[in-house]
Amino acid sequence: LQGGRPGLLAVIPLTLVTLLMSHLRVVVTDDAVHVQYGLWGPTIAVENITRCEVQRYEAMRFGGWGFKRSLDGTVAYSVPGGEGECVALEITEGAKVRKVVITTPNAAGVALAIEEARARKLGSRVRVDADEASEASEVTDEAAAAGEQQQRRRG
């Protein structure tokens, strides 16, 4: 290879990795929360979620954005942008408790969709803050929209 081609060959994989890792998708179904960061991410059973709340994403706590782990073991799936809000989940699987945070432009809507899925799965009532409900009604986020469609079909 001559000239600038070795540099170009290095740029192509780097560009592909950047494109793959610049998109975070969260889908809430009746059974699970699917997080896809690039090609990877967990599927979290809604019955294992013991706590769901909206928090401010603290990039310095995790060392920035991306797939990160804080010193206390919390795993973050985050992309830069938005208002810096995230959905913080506490997940209990047997005796093991883990924490996951997920950034999303509409954290309140995603949290509402998760709480509704948990209520349907576990048969309990969901208590929703009025502010969250009004924000969720303006949702265009895929996860919240899917949750609302499922609720309408059942209601």
What percent of the chain stands above pLDDT 90? Answer: 41
What would the mean pLDDT of 114-122 be, rounded to a whole number? 92
What's the whole-model pTM score? 0.67
What would the mean pLDDT of 68-95 be, rounded to a whole number? 88
Query: How far apart, in whole angstroms, are the C-alpha atoms of residue 107 and residue 115?
Result: 12
Q: Does residue 112 or residue 5 have the better pLDDT?
A: 112
pLDDT band at 19 (very low <50, low <70, confident <90, very high): low
What would the mean pLDDT of 101-112 be, rounded to a whole number? 92
SS (H, E, C) 101-151: EEECCCHHHHHHHHHHHHHHHHCCCCCCCHHHHHHHHCCCCHHHHHHHHHH
Element (H, E) at 96: strand 96-103
Query: How far apart, in whole angstroms, are the C-alpha atoms of residue 31 and residue 9?
Result: 43
Render pLDDT for 44-76 as a digit per residue (tens, 0 to 9).
999 999 999 999 998 888 888 888 889 999 999
* 103 CB-side CA count, 13 A: 24
Render pLDDT for 21-34 as a digit per residue (tens, 0 to 9).
567 889 999 999 99
Residue 39: partners with Cβ closer than 8 Å, 6 or more residues away: 20
Q: Which amino acid is at 38?
A: G
pLDDT of residue 4: 53
pLDDT of residue 146: 47
Per-residue pLDDT at 143 exceeds 90? no
